[in-house]
A and B are shown apart, each in its own frame.
Chain A
Amino acid sequence: MDYSFSPLGDQAIIIEVGTSINEETHNRIRAITSLLGASPPQWMTECIPAFTTISVAYSPLLATFEEAKNELASLLKKTEDIDVPHPRTIEIPVCYGGGHGPDLEFVARHNGLSPEEVIAIHTGTSYTVHMIGFAPGFPYLGGMSEKIAAPRRESPRGAIPERSVGIAGNQTGVYPISTPGGWQLIGRTPTRLFLPDREIPSLLQAGDTIVFRQITPEEYQTLEEKENADHI
């Protein structure tokens, strides 16, 4: 397996594992991430997995670019024969439509479907978490059906409520914190994805599998109250 290494400024290296988003690349990235997590080189300060790359931040006081690159290259040879843990599957309950998903009707109309069909397609598949980024705890998900793809809103909302579930183009995602944004909002989850008081502040990790499950507004209410009580 060939990897390419390039500098990301003078304190990080980007390891390119593949050039397109696919399962093999994703699994290789999971293997490398788990290897670097288990036996981090002493000059490494941080490791950030993405779709087709991993960036490794390091201290140039402890290793030059050449030294870090060579050590990574020999370390990566070991990924061929390590066991990658089976991905966790995490269920995200979602209350679709109504006030929680004001754009569900639009997504349905845009695709010539009923809102119920959009929900059935959105909940009918599992998604891979490729990376966490854009906002604290925000998962970049792979696996959404093109049948429910929808363009971004022409004018972005000033503030999207936290935990909204949205669609933009071929992507679906959950906003962990309130932010401005142009995604079409189809629902909202009571589950918190960003937990700043926890040792691991993101509920989801790159490599996880997630599924969405439809809940009623009443269930939403109950679960949200429970979450609020758990995170005072």
Chain B
Amino acid sequence: MLTIYKSGMQTTVQDLGRTGFQKHGVVASGAMDPYALRMANLLVGNEENAAALEITLMGPSIHFEEEHVISICGGDLTPQLDGKAVKSWRAVTAAKGQTLTFGKPGSGSRCYVAVAGGIAVPEVMGSRSTYMRAELGGYQGRALEAGDQLVVGEASADQKSADHDKSWFAPSPLYSSNPVIRVIKGRQFEMFSEGSRRHFFTEDFSVNPRSDRMGYRLDGPRLALAEAQEMISEAVAFGSIQVPADGNPIILMADRQTAGGYPKIAEVITVDLPLVSQLKPGDRLRFKEVSIEEAQRLLRLQEKTINCLKRAIKYKREATG
């Protein structure tokens, strides 16, 4: 059991999201940085889709009522166990009675705390992810508050082994506060004016403070259609870059609605989504075009790497457990 002493800015239970319900208008949700969530789970021996805590910028304070093996992956939000710095991207043991706190956010804006056994909230439509707007899933459909108590799933004997070799860890992605984000041209790309199409790839955009799990709002050159046109609403994706009438693009994220009526200038490729999810208000980014073939090649390559890591972690756990 975990007890939340302080809520932090926004701490929610997330897994890899709801699949198959978007045709009913049900938002996918799930981790903003799916790579970090998967790694955090694998490091503690969970299924990669297990529910963990997503922590945003100013972290919570979490008290461990029993000993748990945990792993923190994602942005560096300066985690500490009983005031002592704890390293990310590896399995560590939180002793009974210890408290996990977070200091000033360093690089990145979100991290995941996975606990061996997973966070045991009920599944709603095949997922434990929280969708706050509809008060769905997660812990009572909302962000965690002081006093909440979370039950942890049963961990196997192997997962519980306390003697983890602290010298090995998983590689972290190259998070940056001014990344180049690779995109595929969107379905309505050609509808944009020539200037807008050029500026989209040549100018910097900055992250507006009004960004959240639903979307990242960007400030930069205003983007406009060559001629005003009404769009018919259609499906959108995690990473779709919509441009509303005011000309400021929005990158749609984990809590995006299932459909949108604004033209899409591009889509962020899956392997670069974690880089977007880790941006903070004020951070700058630039877009670079790749082909759909290249995007899918990079995705298959990443999955191959994750599979190698999976095997390596399993081997390490068995060797040191």
Contacts and interface: CB of A to CB of B under 8 A. Distances in A.
Contacts of A120: none
A10 B257 CA distance: 18
Nearest to A9: B267
A70 to B, nearest CB: 14
A196 to B, nearest CB: 6
Given A133-B257, A136-B27, A45 B20 contact: yes
Interface string B22-51: 111111000000000000000000000000
Interface residues of B, number: 40
Interface string A145-161: 00000000000000000
Contacts of B293: 64-65
Contacts of B20: 45-46
A132 B25 CA distance: 5
A41 to B, nearest CB: 15
B239 interface: yes
A55 to B, nearest CB: 3
B216 to A, nearest CB: 15
Interface string B217-237: 000000000000000111111
A168 B187 CA distance: 27
B300 A61 contact: yes
Interface in B226-279: 232-240, 257-259, 264, 267-270
Contact of B25 (A20, A53, A133): A133
Contacts of B232: 20-21, 50-53
B202 interface: no
A145 to B, nearest CB: 20
B295 A8 contact: no
Given A136-B24, A137-B25, A65 B292 contact: yes
Nearest to A45: B19
Contacts of B24: 132, 136-137, 200-202, 205
Given A8-B187, A47-B23, A135-B25, A60 B299 contact: yes
Interface residues of A, number: 44
B315 interface: no
A194 interface: yes
A165 interface: no
A51 B233 contact: yes
Main DSSP-derived SS at the B contact region: mixed
Contacts of A132: 23-25, 258
Contacts of B201: none
A179 B133 CA distance: 8
A133 B258 contact: yes
Contact of A46 (B22, B240, B270): B22
B203 interface: no
B124 interface: yes
A201 B21 contact: yes
Contacts of A45: 19-20
A20 B230 CA distance: 11
Interface centre among A10, A52, A132 (most CB of B within 10 A): A10
A140 B187 CA distance: 22
Contacts of A46: 19-20, 22-23
B124 to A, nearest CB: 6
Interface in A161-195: 176-177, 179, 194
A189 B187 CA distance: 38
Contacts of A57: 22, 237
Given A60-B300, A137-B25, A8 B258 contact: no
B134 A177 contact: yes
Interface centre among A8, A64, A206 (most CB of B within 10 A): A8
Given A51-B232, A53-B234, A10 B22 contact: no
Contacts of A10: 184, 267, 269-270, 292, 295-296, 299
Interface of A: 6-12, 14, 20-21, 45-53, 55, 57, 60-61, 64-65, 131-138, 140, 176-177, 179, 194, 196, 200-202, 205-206
Given A64-B296, A133-B235, 10 more contacts: A8-B237, A9-B237, A12-B237, A46-B23, A131-B259, A133-B25, A133-B258, A135-B133, A194-B25, A202-B26
9 contacts: A7-B292, A9-B237, A10-B295, A10-B299, A14-B234, A48-B259, A50-B233, A50-B234, A52-B232
